[in-house]
């Protein structure tokens, strides 16, 4: 069974799509572009490769049909594939991983100009607006009855809600951060953080603390 470990999350993403219906590879790439790619982004060529592995392992079957003189490969899940997928779904899985280049640039803002930082934040805001628009377009298409996923609305709305909240959060953060940076001096390496700001962020981080009533020990401040 050591071959079982050769399946990556990307493999299961494909396998999951095949569980919904058979797809040609091109259709898979479209689907990735439009929906799955938001939460599991992968290059096109990967989507031509992975299904072959699934076939090797007996989790999917390939059939070719001609389109003019050239063949097209359509993949379908097998019973073994459904079992493997169910097994994967029973494991809790990994939490979100973020890669955020723009935030990296903010992290090193003191090595550049204030204008650099503001431009980066503007780009981040624009990114969130654009993604949100895409999301709305997809949702509207979906509501209009396009796509093969009408019967999957209950799941889709959970994904959509996550993305909506994420884009909104990024945009709000970028707005807030822009205000902060606008308050910086021209040379960002001289910027200082007001204690009140640190305290405010600290309070926002307090959502997961158990709400035990604290014993008051006098009018002391943070870090006490």
Partner DNA sequence: TTCTTCATGTAATTAGTTACATGATTGA
Partner DNA sequence: TCAATCATGTAACTAATTACATGAAGAA
Are the beta carbons of 43 and 1 closer than 8 angstroms?
A: no
Please say which residue, 19 or 76, places its beta carbon nearer to its own copies.
Answer: 19
- Residue 44 in the binding site for DNA (CB under 7 A): yes
Residues 6+ away with beta carbon under 8 Å from 89? none
User: How many residues touch DNA (CB under 7 A)?
Assistant: 26
Please report whether residue 100 would count as binding its own copies according to CB under 8 A.
yes
Q: Which residues contact 180 (CB under 8 A, 6 or more apart)?
A: 197
114 in contact with its own copies (CB under 8 A): no
Which one-letter DSSP state was computed for residue 184?
Answer: S
Phi, psi of 188 (to 5 degrees): -65, -20
Cβ closer to its own copies: 26 or 168? 168
Residue 111 touches its own copies, criterion: CB under 8 A = yes
Among 185, 215, 169, which Cα is nearest to 113's? 185
Residues 2-21 close enough to bind DNA by CB under 7 A: 6, 8-10
**Distance of alpha carbon 188 from alpha carbon 172, whole angstroms:** 22
How many residues of this chain bind its own copies (CB under 8 A)? 98
> Which residue among 43, 63, 143, 187 contacts its own copies (CB under 8 A)?
143
Give the other-Cβ count within 10 Å of 173's Cβ: 15
Q: Contacting DNA (CB under 7 A), which of 16, 19, 22, 27?
A: 27
Q: Does residue 131 interact with DNA by CB under 7 A?
A: no
Structure tokens at 163: 């993305």
Least distance in Å: CB of 50 to its own copies?
Answer: 14
Verify binding: residue 94, its own copies, rule CB under 8 A: yes
The smaller minimum CB distance to its own copies, of residues 66 and 92, is found at 92
Residues 54-73 binding its own copies (CB under 8 A) are none
Taking CB under 7 A as the criterion, the residue among 16, 34, 61, 72 binding DNA is 72
Rounded distance, CA 31 to CA 37, Å? 8
Q: Which of 16, 19, 34, 48 binds DNA (CB under 7 A)?
A: 48
Distance in angstroms (rounded) separating the CA atoms of residues 106 and 118:
9
| Distance of alpha carbon 80 from alpha carbon 59, whole angstroms | 5
Residues binding DNA (CB under 7 A) = 6, 8-10, 24-27, 29-30, 41-46, 48-49, 64, 67-73
């Amino acid at each position: 069974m050591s071959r079982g470990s050769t399946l990556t999350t990307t493999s299961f993403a494909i396998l999951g799509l095949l569980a919904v219906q058979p797809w040609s590879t091109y259709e898979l790439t479209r689907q990735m572009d439009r929906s799955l790619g938001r939460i599991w982004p992968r290059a096109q060529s990967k989507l031509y490769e992975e299904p072959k592995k699934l076939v090797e392992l007996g989790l999917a079957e390939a059939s070719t049909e001609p389109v003019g003189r050239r063949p097209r490969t359509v993949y379908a899940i097998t019973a073994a594939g459904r079992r493997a997928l169910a097994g994967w779904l029973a494991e809790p899985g990994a939490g979100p991983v973020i890669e955020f280049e723009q935030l990296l640039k903010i992290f090193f803002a003191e090595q550049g100009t204030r204008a650099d930082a503001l431009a980066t934040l503007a780009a981040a805001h624009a990114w969130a607006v654009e993604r949100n628009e895409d999301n709305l377009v997809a949702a509207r298409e979906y509501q209009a009855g396009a796509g093969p996923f009408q019967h999957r609305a209950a799941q889709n709305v959970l994904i959509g809600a996550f993305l909506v909240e994420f884009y909104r959060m990024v945009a709000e953060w970028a707005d807030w951060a822009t205000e902060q940076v606008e308050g910086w001096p021209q040379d960002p390496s001289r910027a200082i953080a007001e204690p009140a700001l640190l305290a405010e962020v600290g309070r926002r981080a307090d959502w997961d603390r158990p709400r035990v009533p604290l014993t008051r020990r006098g009018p002391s401040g943070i870090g006490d």
